[in-house]
Structures are given as structure tokens and as C-alpha cells.
Chain A
Amino acid sequence: MNIIVCLKQILDPDIPGRDFKVDPISKEAVRGAANLVTNIFCENALETALQCKEKNGAGKITALCFAPESGEDVLRKALAMKADEGVQVLNDGAPHPDPLLVAKTLAAAIRKIGTSDVVMVGRESGDWGVGQTGGLLAEELGVPYIGFVDHIEANGSGVKLKRQTDSGFEIVEANLPLVISITNDEHNVPRVPKTRDVMMSFRQTLTKWTLGDLGVSAAESYYEVAELAIPVKESSCEFVTGDTLEERVEQLAQRILAVKRAM
């Protein structure tokens, strides 16, 4: 099974709220001192793909990233985690490209890469949290789509998937090719690459294409960001008081019971 994993580079989602600022003109977050990182769900996807390959013992995993020059870091890390190849589509355009343009670009790259059985994306990105790339990509490629998958295995000529739902999970059988989005579970926490593999990753050559190479041009706008603001929502916490732990927990219990009584 050949798998393409789409990886997005985003502003570190763990930066503390007090360091987070937005630019009201560009309607983007201000990068400041924050790092750029691989979106966590993309790493969950790569981990899922690696485990699938380890079990099947065959197939190729290609990491694909559409980003400015900096996106190279995402691909190096993917190679260090043991993806087989890295492909970068250089974005020298808009700071936050349209979801449809992203899907068209990824689809064009996927066609150019050639045979792939499964395309994996993350369930959503940690910056804009769009959560649409997988579905739009499936439509562009004209293949089915299953969201929120946390496990994949070969099943005859197709695959068997486990995916999360609101109330539990579902088992899905699917023909190939197919696009799936990956969500987190205890089994796909991304591995930490070995130091040696990190060093090795710098020796590998990445494939780099431009939008022009793929024949993709910005189409009509899908949507635009009209406003971006930081909400102010803080309350002041009253810490329970008392000389002993006993007294303080008593107060805690009373306050909880007061809320319950007022319900």
C-alpha cells in the first residue's frame, strides 16, 4: 500500500495566550518569537501510516507539504520519523491560502507523484482549524472520503478502517484509492525520531515543485477572513480559604453544592 501523508506547517499552537497577537490588517497571527511546527494531527497521520507500513511490510510513504521555504523543516522531520520521501510544493503567495486552493494544489501534486492508494490528512489544522482539506481533496481526486480515522489495515484489495464518532467508533471497509483524515488516539501518538535518523534526514533529497510546475493558479475566492480578533474572557478566581485542608475542601464542597442547588 502506497500512502501519501499531507503535512501542514503551522504557528506553534502551544504558545501561551499572553504572547499571542493578531495583525488586524493581514488578519493573521503575528509570528513573533514563536516556532513553526508540524500540525499535530498530521504527525498523528504519519504515525498511523508508519504503523500500517510496519505491519504490512511493504509500500511507500510520501510526505507532502505545501508551504513557503520554511516547510522544509516539516519534511525533514517526517523523513526522520521514517517517511520514505518528501515532496514540497513551494508557496510564494498568500499567507493563508484558500482551502480550495490548498486542495487543488495537493491534488495536483498527488497526481504528479503518481500511484497512491491512500491519502492521509489531519482532521484539522491547529491554526485555522478549517477541517476541510480532506473532503475537498477527495472531491478533487474523485475518490471517497472517511473522516476521523485512528486505525487502518489492509483488507483484501481494500482497507479496513476504525474511525471515531460522537458516541464511540465505527468500522469501515473501503476500496482504494481513498482519502482519509486522521484523529488522535492513544495508539498514534507520534514517535520521537532517533538522533541518527534526524542526521540522516538531512542527507536525503527533497522533491520541490512550484505552483507553476503543477499548473495550479489561484481560482475565484472560496472564502475570505473579514475579521480576526482576540476575545477577552477572563474571570477572577476566588480561591477557597481556610487554615486547614479540611476547611478548604469543606468550602469547595459547599460551593459545588450551591451551584447544584441553584440548577
Chain B
Amino acid sequence: MNIVICLFAKNGFDRAAQGVAGAGRRLADELGAKLQAVILGAADAAMMDATKAVADGVTIADHAALSDYQPELYLSAITQICQGLLPQAVLLSNDTYSQEMAARLAYRLGGSAAGDVVAINLHDGNVRAQRSVYGGKAVAVIELKRSPAVLWIRARAFDPAPAHSNSVEVNQAAITLPESKTRIVERKSEAVSEARLEDAQIIISGGRGLGGPEPFEELKAVAALLGGQVAASRAACDSGWCPPTWQVGQTGKKVAPQLYLAIAIHGASQHLAGMSDSKTIAAINIDKDAPIFKHCKFGIVEDYRKVVPLLKEKLAAANR
């Protein structure tokens, strides 16, 4: 019996890959199955070593055509590899590409998929996946009725797998790739120098109440003083005040920093769905009844325009 984890060479064995491996290892152990890592693209030695240290088997598909993600080619590759391994479950991370592939992969394998999974359990041999629904207002447990269960998981929320020292076989995938009718011809990153929002320890986040793009400069300054990063609500992104990659929430980044300071953010459940796991939540809001305060350790009821400049001064003074 096999559990497959699907990894992208381009990402290396990052925190997300570690989370996927950890979830896969626990599920494999529970089922008495083998943990099979599939790496799409050409992995470097560091990734190979890290993967071999946690998996029971590794299959690598490093064809030249797979050097960068192309939806139809990657999907075809992982499908063919799974058709050989016949897994009970396939686990993927919650990056764009994994989300794009998961349902189609399930369809091609005759299985069923569930996404944004935060916990995986077994019930009478069936895989059950926990996920938040109704914009974070409820939690559902979904029982996958067909096999394999294809799950894309909130990877960073899962503990990594323990390393072992067994020797692990590495197989080259025997696959033939189709002609693709879609081509990704250009890839742009918003801010290459910044660390990923998901890995930030301090996040200063702004909402529609900021009233325009300029105040985000102030937020950036506060973030810089604390060594943190800036994020936003959907309403702020939709207003064009900041790039969509800054959006936190149900349909944005899922973050869990040590400190999440929400400035002029109301605290809609869909926003909370992306940051409620933060260690400490604090808020600046003019409305004492804003729901964000229900999730805060501390906060201030005040116009941000009065608070932020003073706060900046005080943080700068503390830095000196």
C-alpha cells in the first residue's frame, strides 16, 4: 500500500514540503503503507537528501519539459506515476499549482479530492479531511468516498516528518508527456527580496479603513521597524492599494505569525480564516464593536491616523 506526496523540485524541501511529508508519514504509518515521494522537475542534491531522509521511496520526473511548471504536463506526469504506485491517498501542498491540479488528478485516478485540509483522519478505513467552510464560520469533516483521496493541505500547519537512516530507492519515472494546449510564457514575482508572507514572524496588515494606498507606506515603515512584513485585507487589494499577493484570508495567504497587527480591518470571518492561528493578534480600529477585537489579545479603539504616526515614533525610539 502506498501514500504519495507530490513535491515540486523548484520549491526545494521547504517548510511546505516538510509539512506534506509529515502528514504523509503519519497517514502511511496509520495505514501500514509506504510513503512514496514524487518529485516533479530536477531536484538538487539537498532536496534529494532531505526527501530520502523522510520517505520510503522516491520517484523523480526530471524530464526537460518538466523543468518549469506547465499545468497539462505536470498533471499528466503525476497521473501516470500514481497509476503505477496505486496510492490510497495523494497529498499536495496549498500552493497555486497544487490547488490547480488536485481535482483533476482525483478525476483522472477515479478518486475524490478535498482542499485546504487542516487535519487528516481515518474512519473505518476511509480518509476523512477536516477543513473550514462557510468562510471560516464552520468546520467540516469530509469523508472521501472514492480512492485515492487526493488532498491539498495547509502544508505549513502540519509538523514535519522525523528523519530516518534507511536506504531509499530512487526511481526515474517512466512517463510519456503529451503536447500541451496551454503554455505559461512569463512568470513574475511581486517582491523577490522579501521573505514569504507565510514565513513572516510579524505582520502589519491594513484594511479598507485606511482609505487609500498612501497609508500603506506608513504601515511599511512600522513593519520595517519591527522586522516584519505588510499584508492586507481583500477589500484593500480589490481597491488596488496593494498587490493581490498581499491578501490574507480564506482566498489569500494563510499566515500564523507571532504578531498580527490588523489596522482598519473589520475582522470578517473570511479574513480571520487566514490569520486566526496567529500567536498574538492585535488591532487598531475606530469601532470598538469591530469583530476583529474578539480575536485580539490587545488593541486600541482609535483613528489609525492618530495612532500610527505616534506608534512609529515610539518604535523608532525603542530601536535607538
A: which residues have CB within 8 A of B? 11, 13-14, 16-17, 20, 22, 27, 29, 41, 99-100, 123-124, 126-132, 134-136, 138-140, 143-148, 150, 164-175, 178, 183-186, 189, 220-231, 233-235, 237-240, 245-246, 248-250, 252-253, 255-257, 259-260, 262-263
Contacts and interface: CB of A to CB of B under 8 A. Distances in A.
A260 B238 contact: no
Interface residues of B, number: 94
Nearest to B307: A249
Interface of B: 71-72, 95-96, 99-104, 107-108, 112-116, 123, 128, 131-135, 137-146, 180-190, 192, 196, 201-202, 226-227, 234, 237-240, 243-245, 250-251, 253, 258-259, 261, 268-270, 276, 279-284, 288, 291, 293-302, 306-307, 310-311, 314-315, 318
Given A171-B186, A174-B183, A226-B142, A186 B103 contact: no
Contacts of B100: 135, 145-148
Interface of B is mostly: mixed
Nearest 7 A/B pairs, CB to CB: A186-B240, A135-B103, A132-B103, A253-B314, A171-B186, A227-B141, A237-B296
B104 A239 contact: no
Interface of A is mostly: mixed
A11 B138 CA distance: 13
B215 to A, nearest CB: 16
A129 B104 contact: no
Nearest to B129: A223
A171 to B, nearest CB: 4
Contact of A259 (B181, B243, B259, B315): B259
A249 B182 contact: no
Contacts of A99: 103
Given A100-B112, A183-B251, A250-B314, A135 B300 contact: no
Contact of B298 (A183, A185, A255): A255
Nearest to A246: B310
Given A168-B190, A222-B146, A249-B314, A17 B137 contact: yes
B270 A13 contact: yes
